[in-house]
Amino acid sequence: MPTRAGRRNPRRSPLRRAALGAGLAGALAAGLLTSAAAPATAGPTAPAAPAAAAPDIPIANVKAHLSRLQSIATGNGGNRAHGRPGYRASLDYVKAALDAVGYTTSVQQFTSGGATGYNLIADWPGGDPNQVIMAGAHLDSVGSGPGINDNGSGSAAVLETALAVARAGHQPGKHLRFAWWGAEELGMVGSRYYVNNLSSAERSRIDGYLNFDMIGSPNAGYFVYDDDPAIEKVFKDWFAAKGVPTEIETEGDGRSDHASFKNAGIPVGGLFTGASRLKTTAQARKWGGTAGRAFDPCYHSSCDTTANIDDTALDRTSDALAHAVWTLGAGTAAQPGGEFENTADVPIPDGGSAVESPVSVTGRSGNAPSALKVGVDIRHTYRGDLVIDLVAPDGSVRRLKDSDDDSGDDVVTTYTVDASGETADGTWKLRVRDVYRQDTGYLDGWKLTF
Ligand code: DTR
Ligand code: CA
Ligand code: ZN
Ligand code: ZN
């Protein structure tokens, strides 16, 4: 085993090394040190955390996205329609915002009406890949206008919720996927293409799809899709808690992208603030606005611009959207927060073979997070001698630290690794090796925090 040539730590006197050796020997004699400690069976030390509450979605951010979509339409012939440059420019805007904050995005291409169409799919790393919650909105407009309420409103609210997930570093039990559909105005073409191209296994992993098409109507009503009861309840309870009455959406079937998922047997839900139907007197009494006037008088018209939005409606529906994503994404059993540690001391052979310290993780469903914390506490007189690896339950190895010339003492730090590809439950190991002679130490303990 190599010995470091001429790079001894000046602070490292023979006396200091001898004292440490005696310390280790003394600890061994007292039975405090074991070579491969039995896996720590300490479960989550934190109480099972209730599902975290969704953050408020800033309406200013949502409206900033609408302004960008308006500019895109203005700069591309006045619309963002399928097959026109304004649509692809809209998709590029949304994709860039998501790529910038760590989403895994993909653009799915299809053809309709002789023109190329595109869906944008954005996966938030982590969560149980076998339990997927999707939220989506069609991004295309009709050819006659910029489509800011129909459906910039849904697109912007879904985008801002996805960005809020990233801002929060949110790690739900389920896997979150967001989608922006092409060619909805031609008959839900993009979403149907997506669902039809899922394998049956992929389809079975989608626990629910939430649709948001026209959620900022200027003469708004508050309609909740009358489809999956559990999803419907999440929305209705949220509005009830805010003192906002809702009605079930009776016209919705087949009228937007949720139909593509419902037809495949996937539970669906969503929100709608109304299109060309007229608001009744009774509805005006409970919601405000104007009776005898369409919920959105600019439906499919050139006047569907940024002026065609009711801020209160869009703020409420955006917050309800985020609430549903946080609530439905939490997973069936609220994931216990959780620290799993092994505090047994393990001596590290000087210039010798690697040692391992196991931790048994239990009680977690699905995969580990994309930001798994690995707390390490090693006492050593020359930390540059040390190579440290995290070994997942399936045996895959992640390098936490390489050897180097750092002559300092000890390694007391927390590493963050993307372990979202690993199942959480199982025996994880910290593997430590001292690759140079003359200095030695021991693993004092280590901890995984989910
Ligand atoms: N077809 C949608 C607008 C629409 C009409 N009724 C509903 C009900 C639920 C969602 C959407 C709609 C469009 O023009 O995009
Ligand atoms: Ca808000
Ligand atoms: Zn439309
Ligand atoms: Zn629409």
- In CATH terms, 59-328 corresponds, of 3.40.50.970, 3.40.630.10, 2.30.30.40, 3.40.640.10, to 3.40.630.10
Q: Which atom of ligand 1 is nearest to the CA of 150?
A: 15
Mention the CATH class of domain 19-48+334-449.
mainly beta
In tens, the pLDDT along 1-58 reads 677 765 444 333 322 233 333 333 333 333 322 223 334 333 222 223 445 789 999 9
Q: Closest Cα to residue 216, out of 151, 124, 289, 286?
A: 151
Here the tokens at position 292 are 């005898």
Task: Show the ligand 1 pocket: residues with CB < 6 angstroms.
Answer: 150-151, 184-185, 213-214, 249, 251-252, 255-256, 272, 275
Query: Closest residue (by CA) to atom 9 of ligand 1?
Result: 252
- Where are the domain boundaries for CATH 3.40.630.10 in the chain? 59-328
Please tell me the residue having the least CA distance from ligand 1 atom 1: 255
Q: What is the average per-residue pLDDT within 89-107? A: 97
Q: Which ligand has the minimum distance to the alpha carbon of residue 311?
A: 2
What stretch(es) of the chain map to CATH 2.60.120.260?
Answer: 19-48+334-449
Pocket test for ligand 1, best of 209, 217, 255, 300 (most atoms within 8 A of CB): 255
Determine which helix (DSSP H) or strand (DSSP E) holds 191, and give its type and residue range.
helix 189-196
> Ligand 1, residues 224, 251, 308: which to mutate, most atoms within 8 A of Cβ?
251
pLDDT digits (tens, 9 = 90+) for 272-327: 999 999 999 999 999 999 999 999 999 999 999 999 999 999 999 999 999 999 99
Cβ contacts of residue 273 below 8 Å, gap of 6+?
153, 214, 215, 216, 217, 220, 221, 222, 223, 295, 296, 310, 313, 317
pLDDT of residue 337: 66
Q: Which atom of ligand 1 has the smallest separation from the CA of 185?
A: 15
Residue among 174, 101, 107, 167 at smallest CA distance from 135: 174
The ligand 1 atom nearest the CA atom of 151:
15
Q: Tell me the mean pLDDT in the region 175-200.
A: 98
Report which of residues 179 and 251 the model is more confident about: 179
The residues annotated as belonging to the active site are 184
Least confident of 163-172, 248-257, 302-311, 339-348: 248-257
Predicted local confidence at residue 334, as pLDDT: 47
